[in-house]
Amino acid sequence: MPDPISPPLQLDRISCRFGRHEVLKDISVEVPAGQITCLLGESGCGKSTLLRLISGVERPTSGAIFMAGRQITGEGVFVEPEQRRIGFMFQDYALFPHLSVADNLTFGLRDLPGDLRRARVTDIAERIGIAHLLDRFPYALSGGEQQRVALARALAPQPAILLMDEPFSNLDQGLRERVRRETVDTLRKLGTTAILVTHDPQEALAVGDQIVLMKQGRIEQIGSSFDIYDRPNSAYCAEFMGPCNRLTGIWAGGEIETPIGRFAGNLDLPDGALALACIRPQAITIGQNGEGIVARILGKTFLGESEQIDVSVHPLAEPLRMHSHERIPMKIGEQVHLQLNGAQVHVFAEPVSRN
């Protein structure tokens, strides 16, 4: 019997190796009930492999997986995929082209009596807003409609957990944002526990109640959107979640000393050690009345909601990049003064490579 106190899904030191290639290394995660957990990372970091292990399509080399306290994978234990009550929404939707929408929704309900099966299809179609599409075939649906049908089909069997592998990547930008918002609203209304794979940090920040940032088969950081963005635990995390200006400096007296100022950090470093400051572009603003660091504008790019400005600051070899939501009247080549918001400066123990 499921344990109501245990999390819906728990991964305990999961590792997976294909031949000599270790794809996942010591992954431990708890997935909260009724929330959306985003697996985030670059292509090849192991996100999709982790989904396949959870669904039962692949088996881990070591470690254990538990659903509501019941072990489903591990030493001498393996519950077949069809017995796990896990729904899967594929990147390409994988709708059956020769079946109507209604029949696509019915496909996973074949073990239910006819009346209950029809009632389940009607109910989920109304909840997802596709009741008017039940008689159509996939070829007659738009991309957004196909996505909603795929979501309804995955939810129709009432899975304990829904797995979603890059579910919005095939949609155009404007449609992607709208369908994503509708999908998230539906999952929250239904109280669905979901795991969503994405390589897009902005999507993870917008969708995830919990974000699991992965790097080369390992977990780099786990936390809420605000934790991951505002309190990154590594330079890799800070830069993955959004652009940063990187400045190497000397650690002294609880601060990193850089050519453009000193910034506090919570590091266990001896004075004189190298440290790294990652400065968000929005941390830099144009100072008024000649106050701040002397700089010169090198370039300006209008982005609609904001303006991206590159500035040179002596003695830095690389320009600094800033984002402003206000129009900056200064022209390229003009001298300006910069001020920094220290809250958007993240300090780490040592410089790391960009690779």
Q: Which sequence spans correspond to the domains of the chain?
A: 9-236, 243-348
Contact criterion met (CB below 8 Å) for 36 and 203: no
Identify the pLDDT of residue 355: 46
Identify the pLDDT of residue 352: 52
Fold classified for 243-348: OB fold (Dihydrolipoamide Acetyltransferase, E2P) (2.40.50)
The structure tokens listed for 103 are: 């029949």
Tell me which architecture the domain covering 9-236 has in CATH. Answer: 3-Layer(aba) Sandwich (3.40)
Amino acid at 282: Q
Contact criterion met (CB below 8 Å) for 218 and 25: yes
pLDDT tens, the chain, 355 aa long: 556 688 999 999 999 999 999 999 999 999 999 999 999 999 999 999 999 999 999 999 999 999 999 999 999 999 999 999 999 998 888 899 999 999 999 998 988 888 999 999 999 999 999 999 999 999 999 988 999 999 999 999 999 999 999 998 888 888 889 889 999 999 999 999 999 999 999 999 999 999 999 999 999 999 999 999 999 999 999 999 999 999 999 999 999 999 889 999 999 999 999 999 999 999 999 988 788 899 999 999 998 888 999 999 999 999 999 998 888 888 999 999 999 887 789 999 975 554 4
pTM of the predicted model as reported, rounded to 2 decimal places: 0.92
- C-alpha 166/C-alpha 214 separation (Å) is 15
Tell me whether residue 124 is exposed, middle or buried, using C-beta atoms within 10 angstroms of its C-beta: 0 to 12, 13 to 18, 19 or more.
buried
Identify the pLDDT of residue 354: 47
Specify the DSSP element, H or E, that contains 171. Answer: none
- C-alpha 324/C-alpha 283 separation (Å) is 9
Q: How far is CA 156 from CA 6, 110, 243, 268, in A?
A: 24, 11, 40, 52
Peptide bond into 97 cis (omega under 30): no
DSSP label of 17: E
Placement of tokens 């129709």 in the chain: 156
Q: How many other CB atoms are there within 10 angstroms of residue 30's CB atom? A: 15
Placement of tokens 């697996």 in the chain: 39
Any residues with CB less than 8 A from the CB of 246 and at least 6 apart, and which? 235, 239, 276, 277, 278, 279, 351
Identify the pLDDT of residue 207: 96
Identify the pLDDT of residue 110: 84
Contact criterion met (CB below 8 Å) for 94 and 149: no
- C-alpha 50/C-alpha 195 separation (Å) is 10
